[in-house]
Amino acid sequence: MIKKIKEYKPSKWVYVIFFTLPLIFTLLILKKLDNDTWYLLSEGRYIVQNGIYHIDPLSMHEGLKVTVQNWLSASIFWLAYSAFKEAGVFLLVLICNFFICFFLYKIGNVISDNNRVLSLLMMFTTSVTLAAHFIVSRPQVMSFVLLLSLIYILELYIKTDNGKYLIWLPILSLIEINLHASLWWMIFLFTLPYVIDSFKIPILRTQGYRKKPLFIAIIVALLMGLINPYGYKAITFIFTSYGDKYMHNYINELLPFTFKANNLCNHAFIIMLSTALIYFFFREGKIRVRYICLYCGTLILGLMSVKGFSHYFLVSIFPLAYFFKDLFPNSFEDLPPKMRKVLNVLYTFLGIILTVCCCVLLVWRLNNIKLSHDSEKALEVLGKFADKKVNSVYSSFNDGGVVEFYGFKPYIDPRAEVYLKVNNKKADIFKEYYELQHNAMNIEDFLNKYNFDYLIVAYNDAIRTTMQDNPKYFILYDDSNLKYTLFARNDLIDAKTRNEIIESYDKAVKEAKEKEASKKKS
């Protein structure tokens, strides 16, 4: 009976079910592309059309030195978009999600001695958890694939004692430094627990395995990091880009863990509590030191900033496949042949239904996914008046990416690290923007300093009230529904056109007030 249980292989439709469900879940929650997609496409478009750049060409500021740490992933996003528009970007994210599921399953298989059912369960739990928060149109989804493939090859090396698998470590390093340099060091942070476990330390109950091939692969991988368009600057990028206090105070995903932050923190706490209870109540299960190090290290990253929970979710669940491998059989009981046939029919029916649902949902989502922004109408009006090569445009931090996508040069955009003096070697623009939005500087002085040609101002922007009373500018377009106003400098548009626009705007405001008064009266 034990032999039969060990040799049990689930129906092929079980794999279909478990791989289809995370995809369906992703399709249901990924209703729009991430806001960062705007500037990623702008970066990718410029690189594909003009080549790698070292001086920022996207913002209105001149001479800002820049390290495009995600130049390769931005180019891939742009190529996908240029070929299939929004559907191409969406498909790219789904493909990455599939490979995330694939490597999670393969890792589970290796560490659980081919316990397929357990591996599928761990894969499903991890992928759904990631999809709820981090499977988005950002370079991180590609990095997740690389980090999981790294763990897979390290586990294969330990399992087989075959050094050929470690050849992939330098290759992954080369890909990651060009794909997403800010996460390049995660390759070595994820490798460090395997280095610790390679030493035979009885008090820590480490496993102990051949260290020489592993160390050689790590050294070569470190050297491969220098093969990128920006050299050592790409390697040191993270150290100069994520310690700024203004960034950590302003950007939500860089805030430390707190229950008041968002649902992500609450979800992370549930994972923490669940895994702690599992390890407590199933104390007969065994766990390796490397998994404990991965768990604790990524948990610390998450507690420091909620963005770090992406790596915690990535590696906190799959070690349970090793923990439960002796407690969780491939089949819960030795089922009679008739029952097996009934289950296989059920698996087949459910698998076909889910596959059809997934295909229908995929087609529907591809036809409806949109890269949209509330300021687009204002930008369309701006396009009728502004010269993209000459004009400077004020926009907020979150809106700058879409301004760049439309071909204009904004004051700031979501690439926060570009606007730090330590990186651009010119000015602390992000600090200036932070103080502007927190009323720590004179708005009139700010407007006089830059003498913007046009301003796209959100209703919650700190400068909005000042702009409405500024005689130097007039309202070129106002969208009260989407809450964006486009201001233009008086001298950029001839007096006749300007007066016609002002009269038209005043008339629209008057009609809106009369309509509102009529509503209240009725």
Residues 6+ apart with CB under 8 A from 76: 44, 92, 142
Alpha-carbon distance of 309 to 184, in angstroms, equals 17
- With CA atoms as reference, report the closest residue to 90 among 356, 364, 373, 357: 364
Alpha-carbon distance of 311 to 456, in angstroms, equals 36
**pLDDT for the residue numbered 2:** 45
What are the tokens at 170? 């330098």
Alpha-carbon distance of 40 to 73, in angstroms, equals 8
pTM (2 decimals)?
A: 0.90
Q: What is the 3-state secondary structure (H, E, C) of 414-431?
A: CCHHHHCHHHHCCCCHHH
**Largest Cα–Cα separation, the chain:** 92
Residue 253, SS3 per DSSP: helix
Q: At what angle do helices 184-198 and 289-304 cross, to 10 degrees?
A: 150
Residues facing 485 on adjacent strands: 457, 478
Indicate the pairing of strand 454-458 with strand 484-489.
antiparallel
* CA terminus-to-terminus distance, the chain: 80
Alpha-carbon distance of 239 to 232, in angstroms, equals 12
Residue 470, SS3 per DSSP: coil
Does residue 34 come out as left (phi exceeding 0), alpha (psi in the -120 to 50 range) or beta?
A: beta
Measure CA 512 to chain center.
Answer: 41
455, 486 in Cβ contact below 8 A? yes
Q: In what order do the strands lie in the sheet with 473-479?
A: 409-410, 392-394, 454-458, 484-489, 473-479
Q: Which helix (H) or strand (E) holds 464?
A: helix 464-468
Alpha-carbon distance of 123 to 131, in angstroms, equals 12
Burial 289-305 (b: 16+ CB within 10 A, else e): bbbbbbbebbbebbbeb
How far are the Cα atoms of 1, 43, 57, 456 from residue 50, in angstroms, in the given order? 66, 10, 11, 28
Angle, vertex CA 407, rays to CA 403 and CA 408, nearest 5: 55
Indicate the pairing of strand 484-489 with strand 392-394.
unpaired
- With CA atoms as reference, report the closest residue to 455 among 445, 442, 466: 466
**pLDDT for the residue numbered 333:** 45
Alpha-carbon distance of 417 to 299, in angstroms, equals 24
**pLDDT for the residue numbered 367:** 82
What are the tokens at 349? 């029916």
Alpha-carbon distance of 318 to 108, in angstroms, equals 6
Residue type, 40: L
Digit-by-digit pLDDT tens for the chain (522 residues) are 445 444 445 566 667 777 777 788 778 777 788 899 999 999 999 999 999 999 999 999 999 999 999 999 999 999 999 999 999 999 999 999 999 999 999 999 999 988 888 888 898 889 889 988 899 999 999 999 999 999 999 999 999 999 999 999 999 999 999 999 999 999 999 999 999 999 988 888 889 999 999 999 999 999 999 999 999 999 999 998 888 888 888 888 888 888 765 778 888 888 999 988 888 888 777 889 999 999 999 999 999 888 899 999 999 999 999 998 877 665 544 456 666 666 667 767 777 787 788 788 788 888 888 888 889 999 999 998 888 878 899 999 999 999 999 999 999 999 999 999 999 999 999 999 999 999 889 999 999 999 999 999 998 899 988 887 888 999 889 887 778 999 999 988 888 887 877 777 666 666 666 666 666 676
Surface-to-core class of residue 270, CB atoms within 10 Å of its CB (0-12 exposed, 13-18 middle, 19+ buried): exposed
**pLDDT for the residue numbered 241:** 87
Alpha-carbon distance of 455 to 15, in angstroms, equals 53
